[in-house]
Chain A
């Protein structure tokens, strides 16, 4: 069974850092495009970042230079390092598999507030 479980969310002050993790099972992160998508409270979906199987990475303009996506193939883990957090980064963060996002985790909530 394909499963994705995010963790690492929480309450953080503006300017702080947080590292999100996404543990995958039932497939290998090394063999798939992997994504982070977020949803601000009461808002729609925003694609945050993607990592391709060849190692290429892309970021939305809103997070470029502040967030870094990475994968640990030995642990079958996807991560998102988030630095210089702002109030508008407050959202539920989902990891999703593949170019079509055919499997999603349940999400982890990040709240940026003083």
Chain B
């Protein structure tokens, strides 16, 4: 099973600041990598798929990058609605696995 390790666990930032979230995989995952956002009481929402492709309707301030075993989600300038929980996902190998999540909260 591929283990995904997200860091940091919590990121405390102010609106307008840049957020950089990291996800490291225990094995190479090729392009089958995604990021999701989840707010309390809501289902997750797809942000980024195949490492760097924004899902329809996702603002341009969200971007994904990386390769191999190290991936990054960047939010260029935090808006109030971006304070949430973020998960990475690999679907290179079954079982598909999520990271444990990074909380972006208001400083």
Check B95–A105 contact: CB distance below 8 A.
Answer: no
When C-beta atoms are compared, the residue in chain A nearest to B43 turns out to be A104
CB-CB under 8 A for A47 and B95, given A101-B36, A102-B49, A102-B55: yes
**Chain B CB within 10 A, most for which of A46, A58, A61, A100:** A100
Residues of A in contact, count (CB < 8 Å): 18
In the bound complex, how far is the Cα of B100 from the Cα of A58, in angstroms? 22
**Number of contact residues on B: which range applies?**
20 to 34
Check B96–A47 contact: CB distance below 8 A.
Answer: yes
Contact of A47 (CB < 8 Å), options: B38, B49, B55, B98: B98
The contact string, 1 if C-beta is below 8 Å from chain B, for chain A 94-114, is: 100001111011110000000
Check B43–A46 contact: CB distance below 8 A.
Answer: no
